Amino acid sequence: MGRIAFWISYLFYTLPSDFKDNRRHIHIFKGKGKNIQSLAKIWIEQNGIKNISVSYNKGIPEKDLKIIIQLIDENWDDLNTQIDETFKGENISIIELKMK
C-alpha cells in the first residue's frame, strides 16, 4: 500500500493493484497498525479528466466526506503526482492536505 496523503486522522492510499483499474482512485483509511480500516474509495478521474465521485463509503460521516472530496478537488494535481510517483516505485513524502 502506498500512503500518499493525510488529513486529520484520515489516510489517503493507493494500492499496488490499482494501476490496472480503468479509473484512478484513492482509498481512504483510518486507524493504526492492525486497527486500520478501509472506509471509502473515491474515484478522482474518468478518461484522464477530473471527475470526483464516491465509489463506496463505509463509515465516514457526511460532513467529513464533503471535506475530503473538496480536499481531493483542491489538491488534485498534487495527488495525481503522488500516485504517479508511487506507481513508478519512487520514494515519496506523504503530503498533508489543506484547504486552499
pLDDT one-digit tens code per residue, 49-85: 999 999 999 989 999 999 999 999 999 999 999 998 9
Cell numbers for 77, please give them.
494535481
Looking at the 3D structure of the chain, how many domains does it have?
1
Q: Which of the two residues, 86 and 22, has the higher pLDDT score?
A: 86
pTM of the model: 0.88
Mean pLDDT is lowest, of 20-34, 35-49, 76-90, for 20-34
Give residue 65's domain range.
2-96
Distances (CA, A) of 80 to 13, 58, 60, 91: 12, 24, 22, 15
pLDDT at 18: 66
Cell numbers for 69, please give them.
472530496
